[in-house]
């Protein structure tokens, strides 16, 4: 069965390709978390990020 998920690494690579650095990616996550915390959680799960890392990302 083919997975439709994008990996975390692929997502980060796309961000880098459009010129986002670590600080910009942090701001993106903070904005996502503030505006739609449930959606942010679902997105991080969709990327198959482990729950401990999701907790860390959401606390930035």
Please answer whether residues 32 and 39 qualify as being in contact, where contact means their C-beta atoms are separated by less than 8 angstroms.
Answer: yes
- Distance between CA atoms of residues 37 and 27, nearest Å: 14
Please state, in angstroms and rounded to a whole number, the distance separating the CA atoms of residues 34 and 21: 20
* Per-residue pLDDT at 3: 61
- What is residue 60's predicted lDDT score, i.e. its pLDDT? 84
Please give the model's pTM, rounded to 2 decimal places: 0.82
Say how many domains are in the chain.
1
The CB density around residue 40, as the number of other CB atoms within 10 Å, is 19
- Report, in angstroms and rounded to the nearest whole number, the Rg of the chain calculated over CA atoms: 12
Is 35 a domain residue?
A: yes
Specify the pLDDT at position 1.
46
Domain that includes residue 37, residue range: 8-58
List the chain pLDDT tens, one digit each, 60 residues. 456 789 999 999 999 999 999 999 999 999 999 999 999 999 999 999 999 999 999 998
């Amino acid at each position: 069965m083919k997975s439709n998920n994008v990996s975390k690494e692929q997502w980060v690579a796309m961000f880098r390709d459009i010129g986002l650095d670590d600080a910009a990616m942090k701001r993106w996550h903070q904005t996502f978390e503030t505006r739609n915390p449930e959606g942010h959680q679902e997105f991080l799960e969709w990327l198959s990020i482990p729950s401990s890392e999701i907790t860390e990302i959401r606390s930035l």
